[in-house]
Amino acid sequence: MGKTLYDKLWNAHLVDQDKNGNALLYIDRQLIHEVTSPQAFEGLKIANRKPWRASANLAVADHNIPTVNRNKGIPDPISALQINTLIMNCKDFNVPYIPIDDVRQGIVHVVGPEQGATLPGMTIVCGDSHTATHGALGSLAFGIGTSEVEHVLATQCLIQKKSKNMLVLVNGKLQKGVTAKDLVLQIIKKIGTAGGTGYTIEFAGDTIKDLSIEARMTVCNMAIEAGARAGIIAPDNKTIKYLENRPFAPKGKNLKRAIKYWKTLYSDSDAEFQNIIQLDANSVIPQITWGTSPEMSLNVGEKIPINKSNGSNNALKYMGLSGGDSLADYKLDKIFIGSCTNSRIEDLRSAATIIKGKKVAENIKLAMVVPGSGEVKRQAEVEGLHKIFINAGFEWRDPGCSMCLAMNADKLEPGERCASTSNRNFEGRQGHGGRTHLVSPIMAAAAAVKGHFIDVREIMDQV
Amino acid sequence: MKKFQNFKGIVVPLDRSNVDTDAIIPKQFLKSVKRTGFGPNLFDEWRYLDKGEPGISIKERPLNNNFVLNQERYQGASILLTKKNFGCGSSREHAPWAILDYGIKSIIASSFADIFYNNCFKNGILPIVLEQREIENLFEKVKKNDGFNIHIDLVRQSIKLSSGYLISFEVDKYKKSCLINGLDEISQTLEKKDKIFSFEKKYKNVNPWLFEEIQI
């Protein structure tokens, strides 16, 4: 019987396996950030252990750092301590670290692929659930806890049980104004927020093949919001082209060898999936989440559901919404374009096309663009995108996780309503009492201009 | 890690599905570089009426008396009973650290999110998955009986109610043995270091590009 892409990736990294299916899996790359690593390094120190292969790791601070006035240092002393702890740990253990003032600094899941530090065929882990992002390049990438971060540092391996295989097959063409974000929100709505638990999801089909590598990252990024630790997409010529000349990607003879291997990374036609979900891309329309779980999303224009269960009732109450209303009736307070889901150059380009020549609505207290990395920011400035945003009334910030999880100063105040291109609308996620609606970058841009949600396709037709 | 021992404890019911790790421990508390001290801020946004920040003493904060953890009858609880997909969202191990620090030793739910489930075992917490029917049954009993407690026996993989009613549960053998013996997984893996070395040698020959040094 044939093998799935996940089977192949798994088998290639299998060091050992016991009769109960507990496997020792070799890890090629660990990405490290300041929030989930200090206790792991401390554990190494206490046990007097060294990293197995320090250069297999790459560290960068992203969760906690300010996105303004960075040259003035980090005002919050607790955040500063955490970031300094990362710097010291990387120094003490010889772990490669990208400094805060380096143009390559950014969100770890933007930086990895951008620098060619994450490659097809790799196993990639990070103490962050959105590690699934890197699966877009054809790698097995998943989030882990801090104890596992320490385990990988010390042994270059993880003890794992194999997941089941799920195939999400998407065919057809995404309509104008419909993005990878809308597609993945639609998929999550269909599978449910726990529907992918225990599975690795492979995304395939014509629609996925047609997506750019960055758009594929948006899709894989949110696999975890459907409960799956990993989402993967088979590498193809687009993947290879994307990786050419990236700083840490292989070159010359090694690249040729790598490509030969990467071309074997696909699911065989007779491979078996325990679960197959099919979706018609033509039918997907822009999505807006209304509730406090990413599965609670609406087609734009659809009415807010009348509460049916305890969960929906809690969500409506928290979000300050009435069932039966239209989301367009509610004024927005803040706009956030950023996060490891939607902060890459293509996201900024698409948002800028909507914003160009327009102004942020008066009721919007803050509209901000937080590029995913210094490189994204630099590229956007080369293209003049920053001017489009700034002229419209957006703030143009420095890279980091920012208001996706609001660990730094960028946050919602209680009751504030936000159109956000991030990945989680949980209670309090973007700030105590804050109300998050997840959308695509162009939907967020359109909402910024109008001051409330609209169907972005209406103003695209005017362009 | 401390050895997990069979114990009897009070059950506290959290009647919600999809409880995420942001709810278990909000992000402002993740700035700590320690593994301990998170207990007072477990479920912070539900437990207190004001906004919690690191460094603020909980003694000065207004409690949300409607929240189960604040109710008299559940004081001293060491078992959390909840619904499906508990621990979804972020991979933060601060979530099980907060649960443990509060004094919860076992969580019973109809399902767990994968990363959270694994993180529990690394910290000596036993997550137990039961069928929906048993979960509903336990919720009913907790609500009816003040001080409702159960006995959890990991060796026999069973839960015993004071009425004598027994519920058995499944747990992976390796994870069970790590909990019972308080084993450090890293030491266990390092016992296989020859296997890792030999795998790495062969692997490097086939995939040399994966071993190029990263120079910042």
Residue where the block lists tokens 């599975």: A199
Tell me the C-alpha distance between A436 and A292, whole Å.
8
Contact call for B113 and A314, based on CB within 8 A = no
> Which backbone phi and psi does A73 adopt, to 5 degrees?
90, -175
Q: Please list every residue in chain B whose beta carbon sits closer than 8 Å to the beta carbon of residue A42.
A: 33
Q: Please list every residue in chain A whose beta carbon sits closer than 8 Å to the beta carbon of residue B35.
A: 39, 146
Convert the pLDDT of each residue in A421-437 to its tens digit: 999 999 999 999 999 99
Q: Please list every residue in chain A whose beta carbon sits closer than 8 Å to the beta carbon of residue B216.
A: 96-99, 102
Interface probe with B: pick from A147, A148, A244, A310, most Cβ of B within 10 Å = A147
> Strand A140-143 and strand A157-161: pairing?
unpaired
Convert the pLDDT of each residue in B91-150 to its tens digit: 999 999 999 999 999 999 999 999 999 999 999 999 999 999 999 999 999 999 999 999
What is chain A's mean pLDDT, rounded? 97
Convert the pLDDT of each residue in A221-245 to its tens digit: 999 999 999 999 999 999 999 999 9
| Among B23, B186, B215, beta carbon nearest to A426 | B23
Chain B 71-100, CB below 8 Å of chain A: which residues?
84-85, 88-93, 96
| Among A145, A250, A433, beta carbon nearest to B209 | A250
User: B16: nearest CA in chain A?
Assistant: A311
Q: Please list every residue in chain B whose beta carbon sits closer than 8 Å to the beta carbon of residue A194.
A: 18, 84-85, 88, 111, 113
Tell me the C-alpha distance between B184 and A284, whole Å.
48
Q: Is A318 on the interface with B (CB under 8 A)?
A: no
Task: Give the closest-approach CA distance of A147 to chain B in angstroms.
Answer: 7
Q: Sign of dihedral through CA atoms A423, A428, A430, A434?
A: positive
Residue A359 per-residue DSSP state = -
Which pair of structure tokens corresponds to residue A350?
């698409």
| Among B92, B186, B215, beta carbon nearest to A154 | B186
Q: Is A17 on the interface with B (CB under 8 A)?
A: no
CB A27 within 8 Å of CB A140? no
| Among A145, A157, A257, beta carbon nearest to B93 | A145
Q: Please list every residue in chain A whose beta carbon sits closer than 8 Å to the beta carbon of residue B48.
A: none
Tell me the C-alpha distance between A161 and B35, whole Å.
26
Q: Please list every residue in chain A whose beta carbon sits closer than 8 Å to the beta carbon of residue B92.
A: 35-36, 145
Residue A402 per-residue DSSP state = G
* Percent of chain B whose pLDDT exceeds 70: 100
Contact call for A35 and B207, based on CB within 8 A = no
Buried b / exposed e across A417-453, counting CB within 10 Å, b at 16+?
A: bbbbbbbbbbbbbbbbbbbbbbbbbbbbbbbbbbbbb
Convert the pLDDT of each residue in A354-381 to its tens digit: 999 999 999 999 999 999 999 999 999 9
Q: What is the 3-state secondary structure (H, E, C) of A229-293?
A: CEEECCCCHHHHHHHCCCCCCCCHHHHHHHHHHHCCCCCCCCECCCEEEEEEHHHCCCEEECCCC
Burial of A244 (0-12, 13-18, 19+ CB in 10 A): exposed
Buried b / exposed e across B179-199, counting CB within 10 Å, b at 16+?
A: beeeebbbebbbeeeeebeeb
Q: Is B49 on the interface with A (CB under 8 A)?
A: no
Asked if the model's pLDDT at residue B204 lies above 80, the reply is yes
CB A295 within 8 Å of CB A190? no
- The stretch A410-422 carries a mean pLDDT of 98
Buried b / exposed e across B136-165, counting CB within 10 Å, b at 16+?
A: eebbebbeeeeebbbebbbeeeebbbeeee
Specify the pTM: 0.97
Interface probe with B: pick from A55, A78, A256, A424, most Cβ of B within 10 Å = A78
Q: Is A46 on the interface with B (CB under 8 A)?
A: no
Beta strands in A51-112 (DSSP E): 57-60, 97-98
Task: Give the closest-approach CA distance of A419 to chain B in angstroms.
Answer: 19
- The stretch B26-46 carries a mean pLDDT of 96
CA angle B82–B87–B92, rounded 5-degree value: 150
* Percent of chain A whose pLDDT exceeds 70: 99
Burial of A204 (0-12, 13-18, 19+ CB in 10 A): buried
Q: Please list every residue in chain A whose beta carbon sits closer than 8 Å to the beta carbon of residue B15.
A: 310
Asked if the model's pLDDT at residue A461 lies above 70, the reply is no
Task: Give the closest-approach CA distance of B18 to chain A in angstroms.
Answer: 8
- The stretch A302-323 carries a mean pLDDT of 90
- Among left, alpha and beta (phi > 0; psi -120 to 50; other), residue A408 is beta
Tell me the C-alpha distance between A197 and A225, whole Å.
10
Contact call for A78 and B31, based on CB within 8 A = yes
Task: Set out the domains of chain B in order of their start, with CATH numbers.
Answer: 6-211 (3.20.19.10)
Contact call for A197 and B113, based on CB within 8 A = yes
Contact call for B114 and A227, based on CB within 8 A = yes
**Residue of higher predicted confidence among B2 and A102:** A102
Tell me the C-alpha distance between A111 and A31, whole Å.
10
Q: Please list every residue in chain B whose beta carbon sits closer than 8 Å to the beta carbon of residue A229.
A: 114-115
* Percent of chain A whose pLDDT exceeds 90: 96
Q: Which ipTM did the prediction report? A: 0.95
Residue A122 per-residue DSSP state = -
Q: Is A59 on the interface with B (CB under 8 A)?
A: no
Which pair of structure tokens corresponds to residue B68?
């189960």
Contact call for A227 and B186, based on CB within 8 A = no
Q: Sign of dihedral through CA atoms B151, B166, A198, A311?
A: negative
Tell me the C-alpha distance between A429 and A400, whole Å.
16
Tell me the C-alpha distance between A63 and A352, whole Å.
25
Q: Is B136 on the interface with A (CB under 8 A)?
A: no
Tell me the C-alpha distance between A120 and B33, whole Å.
33
Question: How much is the pLDDT for A266?
Answer: 98
Q: What is the 3-state secondary structure (H, E, C) of A14-63?
A: EEEECCCCEEEEECCEEEECCCCCHHHHHHHHHCCCCCCCHHHEEEECCC
CB A23 within 8 Å of CB A67? no
Convert the pLDDT of each residue in A61-94 to its tens digit: 999 999 999 989 999 999 999 999 999 999 999 9
Q: Is B146 on the interface with A (CB under 8 A)?
A: no
Q: Is B203 on the interface with A (CB under 8 A)?
A: yes
In this structure, the number of other CB atoms found within 10 A of the CB of residue A159 comes to 21
